[in-house]
Amino acid sequence: MKRISLFSPGTIANISCGFDVLGVALDEVGDIMHIEETVEPGWRISAITGADLPLAVEKNTAGVAGLSLLNAYKSKVGTHPGFHLVIEKKIKAGSGIGSSAASASGAVWGLNELLGRPFTPLELVGFAMEGEKLASGVAHADNVAPGLFGGFTLVRSYAPLDIVALPCPNDLYAVVLHPQIEIKTQDARSILKTQLSLKQATTQWGNLGGLIAGLYTDDYGLISRSLVDVVVEPIRSLLIPGFDELKKTMLDSGALGAGISGSGPSVFALAKGSDQAHLIAQAIDVNYRKWGIDFEVHCAKINTQGIKILNE
């Protein structure tokens, strides 16, 4: 019998200027997953704690992603052993920090390990995207890619799928405020415009290029100047109570930049150094109490490893 326990990280998608193409993995924030080989064939989810989510494989993001991998494995070798999955959900659904992606990524990564790594990280992204499709209606990779690769990732192309792992300055931290309200990804996508002006497009391209250049050169000033979103944030920010004041508090507290994490409602800031990150966390903790909404604040170093095996 084979078994694996793993930490599947939360992620921030878009990173302001990289809608649907940029993402980054977080330390400390993530789900715990246990996968065990069974005598009986098949793929089952036997328990989920921390969230009221379906155990039926075809209705669960981890289930669908894992099934996609196992079907591909069966095509390779003609059969596959049975497995069951237990999920300890630590990331709330609809939080904007990659809850569905953590489940999908963790499932395919763990299965791949138990099967002897027959698939590449890029192939794992493709399987995990099937789980994202179930969750949001769109098979996007900007959360599952950093979860599987670690650090920052760029989705250069979806057809064919092409993921680029980006470098990360060693002293880069993320602060995330999660208001306890739910914004469904499908709803957040439905309000977006389908056309851009040329001015918007060129501004966004410049910021995306600048951010990637800043990551490669450890240029925190360039990273800061590039964390600007002129496409999605002006629309989605209307769904988040107190967004403008919260973002201003983050910037006034020394954040390199701030924006919406994924489709929201979480709001993130990037910071240079642990001390600066904790100052930002303290400031927004005080600031957001006035809204009368329960919230959580996460302060985490960028996770450059991605999914991690846990010692039991």
Catalytic residues: 132, 185
Helix (H) or strand (E) holding 287: helix 274-288
Helix (H) or strand (E) holding 271: strand 267-272
How long is the chain?
312
DSSP state of 282: H
104, 141 in Cβ contact below 8 A? no
Which two tokens mark 41?
A: 């064939």
Helix (H) or strand (E) holding 173: strand 172-179
Please give the torsion angle defined by the CA atoms of residues 200, 218, 243 and 100, in that order, rounded to the nearest 10 degrees. Answer: 90
Residues 6+ apart with CB under 8 A from 160: none
DSSP assignment string, 200-235: HHHHHHHHHHHHHHHHHHT-HHHHHHH---SSSHHH
177, 267 in Cβ contact below 8 A? yes
What is the C-alpha to C-alpha distance for residues 130 and 138, in angstroms, rounded to an integer? Answer: 9
- What is the number of H-type helices and E-type strands within the chain? 10, 11
